[in-house]
Amino acid sequence: MEREIKQKVEKWFGEFCDRNISLGKDEVRTRIERHPSGSELDSLPLPWRDEDVFVANLELKRRHTFRVASYAADIASSLFDTVSTGGRFTRTLNSGVDSGVDSGVDSGVDSGGLNSGVDSGENTWGLNSGVDTGSDSGVDTWGLNSGVDSGVDSGVDSGVDTVVNMGGVERDIVLASIIALLHDVGRFPQLRRHGTFSDLMGECHAALGVEALLEEGIDKLFLPSDFEIIKASIAYHNAYKLPQITDKRTLAHAKIIRDADKLDILGFLVGSGGKSAYYIEQNTVPGNFDEDLVRRVLAHENLSYKLLKTKADRVLFDISLIFDINFPRSFDIIKSNSYPERIMSPFIGQHPAIFDIIKSTNLYIDERASRII
């Protein structure tokens, strides 16, 4: 049943993407016809006046979504499978849970009670193609209860057997993939309405995503309890901080999507050839690092986007995303891809602390990857 629902969601998602791309292309053509030339057309956001750029932006999001879904399934599989088999995550079933820890990217915008997360706007990574990467992120410290099949928290006393007997492992792994497939659907109406993926300049894409799911009747595919998990996970996937979430299954899924989203962002940052996207696109290092931010990164602090002053600071922000990762499997992926070295190495020589940042970050990853929840 879970797989059938996932297939329905995948089908809907593909149709939703295609429909919004088609409608958006028509809207771009209409604007060009209305403003064939001149400063008025040039003042519009690039995706609103260039059909190819509009399509490229949304196709970028489509590809991002499938990569995030793969990461989410990987994380959930390691997490829930290990819980069910009594591995290193078993202790989680009886552990206290920490929620509401600083989670990542800060936009400084509160949309409907949700901080909207970071959006790159056009060319944040130094891209000259007009493609808006729209990096949103934020993860929190971990906490997982039983992952039970009932759709509600069964209580820590239910233990591992409840997960196995009720089929919760399969259900939660599929649910994590579904959440990932749906987490960025708000990007499509966002680009059509505002011509940018910037939550600062338009509406919070997470809130738009929840709105779109309800308008499309996607909630009808799920048990109410499961859809509440989906809705919360999407609504807060880009929040600066998670709110207090008392249901541990909801909290676990909210953190899985935040890890998965961030892993794909980190993968994007290193670009091709193992070098930072800044280096690839600009062939230069951007400005000077703020000394206070260097100290914060060395202290393993996830940086608020509000603190950034230059493009160089954005590099420090990028490496600090690692300090918000939740689950050991996520740290394993970061370590195996050598993300600290690949993000920071192009900037060696720009600041004497670069080597220290790489070393300190790797020590942090090693410790967190081996931690028992």
In the block, which residue shows the tokens 């209305």? 34
CA angle 203, 185, 223 (to 5 degrees): 115
Task: Please name the helix (run of DSSP H) or strand (run of DSSP E) that holds residue 110, with its range, or none.
Answer: strand 110-111
What is the model's pLDDT at position 156?
Answer: 33
What is the model's pLDDT at position 305?
Answer: 81
SS3 content of the chain, % helix, strand, coil (to 5): 60, 0, 35
What is the model's pLDDT at position 93?
Answer: 29
Residues 93, 156 contacting (CB under 8 angstroms): yes
What is the model's pLDDT at position 43?
Answer: 85
Write the DSSP symbol of residue 39.
H
What is the model's pLDDT at position 321?
Answer: 93
Q: Is 241 helix (H, G, I), strand (E, B) or coil?
A: strand
Residue pLDDT, tens place only, 120-157: 333 332 222 334 444 443 333 233 333 333 333 333 33
What is the model's pLDDT at position 287?
Answer: 63
Write the DSSP symbol of residue 310.
S
**Rounded Cα–Cα distance for residues 120 and 141 (Å):** 24
What is the model's pLDDT at position 1?
Answer: 65
What is the model's pLDDT at position 299?
Answer: 97
What is the model's pLDDT at position 116?
Answer: 33
- Output the six-digit token pair for 259: 């890890």
Residues 92, 373 contacting (CB under 8 angstroms): yes
Closest-CA residue to 106 (of 290, 239, 266): 239
Residue 301: beta bridge partners? none
**Rounded Cα–Cα distance for residues 354 and 39 (Å):** 44
Strand stretches in 112-181, DSSP E: 114-115
What is the model's pLDDT at position 233?
Answer: 97
User: For the chain, what is the radius of gyration of the CA atoms?
Assistant: 21
Q: Which ranges of the chain have pLDDT less than 50?
A: 84-167, 272-274, 276-284
In the block, which residue shows the tokens 């091709």? 272
- Output the six-digit token pair for 109: 């915008």
Residue 351: beta bridge partners? 348
- Output the six-digit token pair for 50: 């260039």
What is the model's pLDDT at position 66?
Answer: 96
Residue pLDDT, tens place only, 11-66: 999 999 999 999 999 999 998 888 767 777 888 899 999 999 999 999 999 999 99
Residues 144, 248 contacting (CB under 8 angstroms): yes
* Residue 317: how many other CB atoms lie within 10 Å: 23
